[in-house]
């Protein structure tokens, strides 16, 4: 089946879809993005993604390319055109096309909007049974990781370094040795007191939409979510560790830098939170 992309007002077969060579996203990574997971043809937590998009756009002094209602319509149409049942929508907004110059273009240059879609298999049962490995490395990113910018060079280098070491994800460490987050996921541990710990929001991390949902579900279930920073040494003494993102939901981490977390198996709290999230998705989160 052919895939379709949305590019600045047109739905085009992916094979012919393209952007201008002087798009500022291409030349400067001057843009923001969102990844929205789709389950049973429904965009999960769409409102929260659009709220974060609004935040990123404001922080970058970028205008919405179309209204929120129009964007929702485009996302729906992309789900239908691509016959997406389970997968993801990728949307990217850049500062548009203009002659290369670091300063912003003159007023009147419209921001550019691109949306793509892809089918994805659910997380494999093997990953859920065994959990995944992470490796730690310095966080080399800029000081505004709360903006979901398309400028992801340190993230992709960290992810590839982790892959090269046979790990699934990189946990990034700030100057004091605390975990900020993963290269494309938020980081969590579960202590022996049953506290579900994740770093508080702020400039060093992205406000994960899945993080937000998991915190709310944990509170609702009477569990003990705590927002504070932690170091890899604490994670290695913890009962459980896991990561969250729109595409992985809550995924158990069973090894950090080659050493086992807890008993080296996916933990019950992580699996419970994953099940709560799955239930919420089923109900139409
Ligand atoms: N990544 N931290 C970073 C740096 C991320 O890039 C992401 C998302 C997250 C998790 O956020 P959310 O729960 O909203 O997906 C945390 C997406 C999936 C990506 O870049 O593909």
Q: Are residues 100 and 202 in the same domain?
A: no
Q: Are residues 92 and 174 in the same domain?
A: no
State both tokens at 270: 């992580």
Q: Is the CB of 209 under 6 A from ligand 1?
A: yes
Task: Indicate the top mutation candidate among 37, 147, 149, 186 to test ligand 1's pocket, ranked by most ligand atoms within 8 A of CB.
Answer: 186
Number of separate domains in the chain: 2
Q: Which residues make beta-bridge pairs with 250?
A: 244
Q: Is 72 a catalytic residue?
A: no
Given the residues 130, 148, 163, 193, the one annotated as active site: 148
CA separation for the pair 174, 41 (Å, rounded): 38
Residue with tokens 């939409």: 209
Q: Where does 120-238 have alpha helices with state H?
A: 125-130, 153-164, 209-220, 232-237
The CATH number for 252's domain is 3.20.10.10
Q: Are residues 212 and 233 in the same domain?
A: yes
State both tokens at 236: 């290695």
Taking CA atoms only, the protein residue closest to ligand 1 atom 3 is 184
Taking CA atoms only, the protein residue closest to ligand 1 atom 19 is 184
What count of Cα atoms within 13 Å lies in the side-chain half-sphere of residue 173? 16
Reported pTM: 0.97
Closest-CA residue to 215 (of 228, 227, 229): 227
Q: What is the DSSP string of 68-96?
A: HHHHHHHHHHHHHHTT-SSEEEEEEEE--
Q: Alpha carbon of 4 to those of 35, 82, 214: distances in Å?
A: 16, 6, 32
Tens digit of pLDDT per residue, the chain (285 long)?
Answer: 679 999 999 999 999 999 999 999 999 999 999 999 999 999 999 999 999 999 999 999 999 999 999 999 999 999 999 999 999 999 999 999 999 999 999 999 999 999 999 999 989 999 999 999 999 999 999 999 999 999 999 999 999 999 999 999 999 999 999 999 999 999 999 999 999 999 999 999 999 999 999 999 999 999 999 999 999 999 999 999 999 999 999 999 999 999 999 999 999 999 999 999 999 999 999
Domain, as residue range, for 255: 125-282
Confidence at residue 212, expressed as pLDDT on a 0 to 100 scale:
98
Q: Are residues 90 and 158 in the same domain?
A: no
- 10: three-class secondary structure by DSSP: strand
Confidence at residue 1, expressed as pLDDT on a 0 to 100 scale:
61
Q: Are residues 99 and 199 in the same domain?
A: no
């Amino acid at each position: 089946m052919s895939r379709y992309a949305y590019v600045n007002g047109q739905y085009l077969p992916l094979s012919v879809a393209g952007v201008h060579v002087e798009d500022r996203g291409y030349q400067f990574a001057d843009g923001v993005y969102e990844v929205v997971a789709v389950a049973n043809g429904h965009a999960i937590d769409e409102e929260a993604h659009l709220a974060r998009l609004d935040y990123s756009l404001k922080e970058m002094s970028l205008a919405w390319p179309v209204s929120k209602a129009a964007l929702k319509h485009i996302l729906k149409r992309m789900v239908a055109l691509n016959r997406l049942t389970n997968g993801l929508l990728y949307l990217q907004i850049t500062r548009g096309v203009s002659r290369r110059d670091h300063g912003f273009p003159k007023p009147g240059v419209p921001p550019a909007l691109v949306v793509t879609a892809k089918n994805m298999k659910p997380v494999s049962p093997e990953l859920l049974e065994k959990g995944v490995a992470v490796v730690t490395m310095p966080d080399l990113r800029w000081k505004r990781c709360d903006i979901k910018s398309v400028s992801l060079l340190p993230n992709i280098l960290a992810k590839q370094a982790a892959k090269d070491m046979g790990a699934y994800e990189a946990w990034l460490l700030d100057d004091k040795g605390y975990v900020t987050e993963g290269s494309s996921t938020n980081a969590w541990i579960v202590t022996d007191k049953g506290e579900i710990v994740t770093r508080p929001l702020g400039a060093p991390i992205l406000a994960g939409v899945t993080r937000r949902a998991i915190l709310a579900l944990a509170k609702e279930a009477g569990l003990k979510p705590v927002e504070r920073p932690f170091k890899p040494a604490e994670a290695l003494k913890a009962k459980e560790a896991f990561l969250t993102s729109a595409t992985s939901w809550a995924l158990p981490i069973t090894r950090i830098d080659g050493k086992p977390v807890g008993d080296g198996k996916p933990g019950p709290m992580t699996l419970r939170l994953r099940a709560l999230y799955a239930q919420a998705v089923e109900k139409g989160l």
